[in-house]
Amino acid sequence: MAAPTPRIDLMLAGGVTGEVGARVAQVVTERLGAQVSLSRAPAAAAWGKSPDGAQRDAGALLESLLAGAGETRLLLTDADLCTPVLQYVFGAARRGATVAVVSLARLAAPAADPRGPALLAERAGKEALHELGHGFGLTHCREPHCLMRLAHTVQQVDERGNDFCSACRDHLNEVFSAGPTQPGGSRS
């Protein structure tokens, strides 16, 4: 019996372009075998801001995405994200839940870099897969080129490979074979 195809609603927020969204959707489709649909996210004004108001609270975004989530939701935003304990994060997810968020705010290439939009899309794709991996129950991996490797800097994001290691891939295959998971509560 074939594993069910994961369905993911890729929601674009703020100034995230359809081009970047389409590139991320393509990567997610290729790496996870997922059926990805693109949509515009609701207005971000209702989402939690950090105490200084300059960033968005990643946890508050996840909570807003959980409301009414039926299929897996991935929010791609240009808003800078933080958590109560981290000054910034590239993304966040709830392990075992159906929601994840990725910020492009710190993933952009320097203006002088000719790879500009292509590099942004590559980084966003890696982060999207990483956060979706958490959503599907994966933890951080020690394999240097695995997408689940922890990254605190953009350089570390760039050093990751473009796919999951065999152990992480095996876990994903088990999850997809078993069908939908129950919502969890941990943040990446």
pTM reported for the whole predicted model: 0.86
What digits encode the pLDDT tens for the residues 114-137?
778 888 999 999 999 999 999 999
Q: What is the DSSP letter of 54?
A: S
Question: What topology does CATH give the domain 7-178?
Answer: Collagenase (Catalytic Domain) (3.40.390)
Q: 122, 137, 125: which is closest to 173 by C-alpha?
A: 137
- The answer to whether the beta carbons of residues 46 and 150 sit under 8 Å apart is no
What digits encode the pLDDT tens for the residues 65-106?
776 656 788 999 998 998 888 888 999 998 777 789 999 999
All structural domains of the chain with their residue ranges: 7-178
Distances (CA, A) of 173 to 21, 44, 160, 176: 25, 34, 21, 5
For the annotated catalytic residues, the residue numbers are 131
CA 26 to chain centre: 14
